[in-house]
Structure 1
Amino acid sequence: MNSSPPRAGARSAGHVLVEALIEQGVDTAFGVPGESFLAVLDGFHEHRDRIRFVACRQEGGAAFMAEAQGKLTGRPGICFVTRGPGATNASIGLHTAFQDSTPLVLFIGQVASDQRDREAFQEVDYRQMFGPGTLGMAKWVGEIQDADRLPEYVARAFHTALQGRPGPVVLVLPEDMLTQLTDAPVLPRAKAAVAWPAPADLVELQARLEAAQRPFVIAGGGGWTSESTVALQDFAQAWQLPVGCAFRFQDLFDNRDPLYAGDVGIGINPALARRVADADLILAIGPRLGEMTTGGYTLLKAPRPAQQLVHIHAGAEELGRVYAADQMIQASMSTAALALQQLRPPGGAQELPWLDWTREAHADYQRNQQAQPVAPMDMTEVIRTLDRLLPAETIFTNGAGNYSGWLHRFHRYTALHQGGRTQLAPTSGAMGYGFPAAVAASVLQQDRWVVNIAGDGDFLMTGQEMATAMAHGARKLICVVVDNGTYGTIRMHQEREYPGRVSGSDLHNPDFAAMARAFGWQAFSAERTADVEPALRQAIAAQTPTLLHLKLPADVSTSRATLTTIREAARRRLAGG
């Protein structure tokens, strides 16, 4: 037994951890309390005037909230969960942060050190579970054995989450370590080291642009700042380049700008897909060029695209991993566009040969904004009504499902520099993401409106976080539940592959409006388009969390026309036509 007297200024490691978070600029942490990190919870109580712990109802929801925090702030989102079941529940948010390139630190309580490797209660080896790597769930997994080294580990976690391609980090906290006394000082706020394009790379890129006839920009990925999105818009303007946004990164470029060509993702406008395929130069600034953005690696054929490809990415490990690009540039997104901003066409924009190409790209986007009315509930009109009634800087969130197609196609996102992030959506395709993300946004940025568009299956995965919204002061929060009584995406695939043989995708749903009222929310139900606007006006006037339950026919996925087309194509295929 150690009988040495406590050192002057010593406090429990749990308190030091909270002090380290405060030093990193964290004022909010999300999580579900657990007995494995009681000392940290006591630290939150000690410093409750400087940082708050938002207690959530399930660890998956808490991790999604932290991921949204990382997207909104550009700093690591913070999540605390307990060992075993808590960690496994939180893994969905960790995976989302990894695929979305979002900085996040997940703190996991662990069994006491003297119980390790015995399969103690809820014990898991987190290095094995979340093992870092290009196909893992985390950039780094660390376990703190010595309280005196805790500030070092926290600082490394923040640096790792922010450096290069941003992403999630896991720190494991043995229960007994957190109660140890330490006088270790916390370390300064982490600031990411940034990489600029080399001058020679910019010279080469300028030459490629000058030689192009049909260039196209795809913007995406994590690590963007307000300054860099301004620079991106300025660069595109100088060169009159058509710009598309990668899957679920639509708020990197003003969708109302005449240079905007649309989103390059699921449900891509066929005219835009043809344009990407016909381009002679693709300038990919930031995206990984994953499956969703490349149409299953067909719009840009892997490993060697037909188009000339310049790939700019913050992570050296990503460059050349899938595509053998003609030019690869490692640069941070906070600096890449600032460097591109300095490039100018030698004869001015009026001399560029692709001006008609750019105008036609935007005209294609505008034509895709048109749609035939659908009765009795027209989701296109619902999205347009939201846009008309709410400010342009409103934050829109969604999870996964065909319902999101209406939002992605018909809502026009503003860019990051025009009031902050306006799109929170999982490129990982995680169901249940949108509602916790909306709750986090409403709690963190209470002066902004937040709208979650959710499917019926999507909402019930995390809808219990309505309680979290009420407990932590959410106000300008609207959730629109699109209820067609089915897992719409799966139903669509079934109709394509096995027409008329629906199995496992039908849902039995509650009265969502009654459910919301039970949580203290204002709620409305609507079955006709005309009922939507009055309900939204009441929600806006009340400035209290409101759920709008939209009831749609079961055969509506993205539209009846889409589903009918899928059915007819499947029948022709099965008939040999």
Structure 2
Amino acid sequence: MSAAARPGGHLLVEALIAQGVDTVFGVPGESFLAALDGFHEHGDAIRFIACRHEGGAAFMAEAQGKLTGRPGVCFVTRGPGASNAAIGVHTAFQDSTPLLLLIGQVARDQRDREAFQELDYRQVFGPGTLGMAKWVAEVEDADRLPEYIARAFHVAMQGRPGPVVLALPEDVLSGPASAPVLPRVKPAEAWPAPGALRDLRALLVRAQRPLVIAGGSGWTAESALALQRFAENWKLPVGCAFRFQDTFDNRHPNYAGDVGIGINPRLAQRVRDADLLIAVGPRLGEMTTGGYALIEAPRPRQQLVHLHPGAEELGRVYAADLLLQCSLAAAGKALEALTAPPQVPWEAWTASARADYEANRVPHAVEPLDMAQVVLAIERLAPEDSLFTNGAGNYSGWLHRYLRYRGLHEHGRTQLAPTAGAMGYGLPAAVAAALLYPQRTAINLAGDGDFLMTGQELATAVAHGANRGAGRLVSIVVDNGTYGTIRMHQERHYPGRVSGSDLFNPDFAALARSYGWRAARVERTAEFEPAFAEALSEGPPMLLHLRLDTEVSTSRATLAQIRDAALKARG
């Protein structure tokens, strides 16, 4: 039955509300004024968070997708707005995060004339194995808006989650529409075939040195808890894929560490020595597999079982011994059903893996500011349901190595970090977390280069009421005056020949205060804990500016040691 006629932009907003969306991130544009009016019309049910840059808005929506398991929504204008938002779409694709990017488009009667800011978004975001989106479409009829929104939610969540892009011509949004909205979409759960589960059990029974690598997008609290019980029943060591460390509780005696950049050398050797790898959820991309060398492509030395929600991903890189298509909402529950034998021969192997993880968390003293002690203080003082965010850079290695992430079965996601390695992600992600979950504390660790890519979103946090709930928003900027990762690689490959990686930085504390944040400068280890305790107290969000020597690296060597080793190797 047809509904009352209203502008297409209003129908679009109603369709989003029907899908359970209560927050949309974006930067306003004249190409979707009718939709903005729809947000005003339905302001009691949905809010539009006006951000300061489309890249920041897209990162916020990507974080929303990670946190909720349903598509985060970003709305931007045509041309420049869409181009700026592309970084969030690419991040969502590589991170397997459900995301919906809505783009205002030129009117239909102006198409294909290179009208003002016109782009062909099917070409820009072209779907495919190495594209940026799972599906790209343009809506030509206002009455089909609910159909396109429902399909977009299905595509974004089904199989391997990912981003969808919809272009919305200006006249479609402003013209009349009378279609009813469609019901809330729920993705189907794929379960592995019973025969495949029997084969997996047989492989486990024959194994001597098994290792689970967990990660990926689409886990539920119930499935993650079931994965933990599977590991307990079979006494299996569990590592987490790159930047999916909250898939499995890091405090659990079966947890062996993160399999990613800066991997514990002993864990790396354990991956090589394993006779059975069970990858539950991750794509097994370059970062988790050590450049496809730790787990060799296309045929690993270890026996490999790969569980993944996307049929197109299974077998794409690795010729595994057993492939199981399974939604991660069901994966843990399917594995838990495998009956374990009374005894297994790898209990000492699992205990040794845990001991290696604990030994890797013992810090080595660094003066005057010890980042390991900084992270340990954060873990000690932060509320147990805190969310931790970061972007890209060497500084993130301290967080990944020394922080014990709680499993998502307790509080939902506790780690928001881009497996795509996108700089500038952490601050917008923390702002989104603070606005979506005001009762939880969001803590961002950023590098100096990383922070200034999206630092203007400090204004978004204040404008939209961060810190009005019980939770606190904290941003910690590690300022070493360089693009640290690039500098590290320069010293390794071109020692002593620094070019393009030095930074000129502002006074980050003064910058934060100009946005209405509290701020403090920290230069010594002893200064951090009281400053962080203040950040967790009542008041506006707080930024801590940490000054670090340029030569300090997150690896086990300083930049000077990396340079000296490279020069020695060259003779």
TM range (shorter): over 0.9
Paired amino acid for 2:557:
A
Q: Secondary structure at 2:186's aligned position in 1?
A: coil
Distance of 1:534 and 1:260 partners within structure 2: 31
Whether 2:292 is the aligned partner of 1:292: answer no
Using the TM superposition, name which of 54-63 and 145-154 deviates more.
145-154
The reply to whether residue 482 of structure 1 matches residue 474 of structure 2 is: no
1:466 aligns with 2:458: yes
Match of 1:549? 545
C-alpha distance in 1 between matches for 2:536 and 2:198 = 51
Deviations 1:39-84 (A, max 9, x none): 0000000000110000000000000000000000001000000000
Could you tell me which amino acid in structure 2 is paired with residue 156 of structure 1?
R
Question: How many Å apart are 1:543 and its aligned residue?
Answer: 4.3
Alpha-carbon offset, residue 564 of structure 1: 3.7
SS at match of 2:492: helix
Equivalent position SS for 1:236:
helix
The residue type equivalent to 1:488 in the other structure is: G
CA distance in 1, matches of 2:555, 2:272: 26
Look up the match of 2:125. 130
Q: Is the 8 A contact 1:398 1:433 kept in 2?
A: yes
Which residue is 2:487 aligned to?
Answer: 491
**In the alignment, is residue 358 of structure 1 matched against residue 360 of structure 2?**
no
1:558 is the counterpart of 2:533:
no
2:13 maps to 1:18: yes
Aligned to 1:384: 376
Give 1:44's aligned residue.
Answer: 39
Q: Is the 8 A contact 1:477 1:543 kept in 2?
A: no
Query: Measured at CA, do residues 460 and 564 of structure 1 come closer, stay the same or move farther in structure 2, by a change above 3 Å?
Result: same
Structure 1 residues 506 and 359: CA distance shift in structure 2, 3 A: same
The percent of aligned pairs where both chains have the same amino acid is: 70
Question: Where does 1:312-391 land on structure 2 (aligned, <5 Å)?
Answer: 312-346=307-341, 348=342, 351-391=343-383
Q: Does 1:54 align with 2:49?
A: yes
Structure 1: which 4+ aligned runs deviate by more than 2 Å?
A: 559-565
Aligned-partner residue type, residue 395 of structure 1 = L
Secondary structure in 2 aligned to 1:92? helix
Amino acid at match of 1:439: V
Q: Report whether the alignment pairs 1:95 with 2:87.
A: no
The residue aligned with 1:4 is none
Residues 363 and 373 of structure 2 are in contact (CA less than 8 Å); yes or no, is this contact kept in structure 1? no
Secondary structure at the counterpart of residue 452 of structure 1: strand
Deviation at 1:536, TM superposition (A): 1.1
**Aligned partner of 2:421: which letter?**
G
2:94, 2:218 → 1: CA distance?
A: 13
Compare 379-388 and 550-559 and name the one that shifted more. 550-559
Matched residue type, 1:355: E
Shift of 1:389: 0.8
Residues of 2 paired with 1:286 and 1:539: CA distance?
Answer: 36
Q: Distance in 2 between matches of 1:511 and 1:562?
A: 25
Aligned to 2:517: 521
Question: Shift of residue 554 of structure 1?
Answer: 1.3
Deviation track 1:275-316 (CA, whole Å, cap 9, x = no partner) reads 000000000000000000000000110000000000000000
Q: What letter is aligned with 1:370? A: V
Mapping 1:65-144, distance limit 5 Å: 65-144=60-139
For these two proteins, the number of residue pairs brought into alignment is 566
Does residue 1:407 correspond to 2:403, yes or no?
A: no
Matches of 1:381 and 1:271 in 2, distance apart? 22
Conservation of the 8 A alpha-carbon contact between 2:551 and 2:558: no
Question: Could you say which residue in structure 1 is the equivalent of 2:431?
Answer: 439
CA–CA separation in structure 1 for the residues paired with 2:20 and 2:127? 26
Partner amino acid, structure 1, of 2:488? M
Cα offset for 1:568? 2.7
How far off is 1:571 after superposition? Answer: 1.1
CA–CA distance in structure 2, aligned partners of residues 494 and 164 of structure 1: 40
Rounded to whole Å, the distance in 2 between the matches of 1:275 and 1:79 is 41
Q: Cα distance, 1:459 vs. partner? A: 0.2
- 1:147-158 alignment runs, 5 A limit: 147-158=142-153
Q: Distance in 1 between matches of 2:376 and 2:553?
A: 18
Asked if structure 2 preserves the Cα contact closer than 8 Å seen for 1:67 and 1:103, the reply is yes
Say whether residues 1:505 and 2:497 are aligned partners. no
Displacement of 1:344 in angstroms is 1.7
Give me the whole-angstrom Cα distance separating, in 1, the residues matched to 2:283 and 2:452: 31
Q: 1:251 aligns with which of 227, 246, 255?
A: 246
**Match for 1:282 among 271, 274, 277?**
277
Match of 2:91, SS state, is helix
Cα offset, 1:409, TM superposition: 0.1
- The structural deviation recorded for 1:8 is 6.8
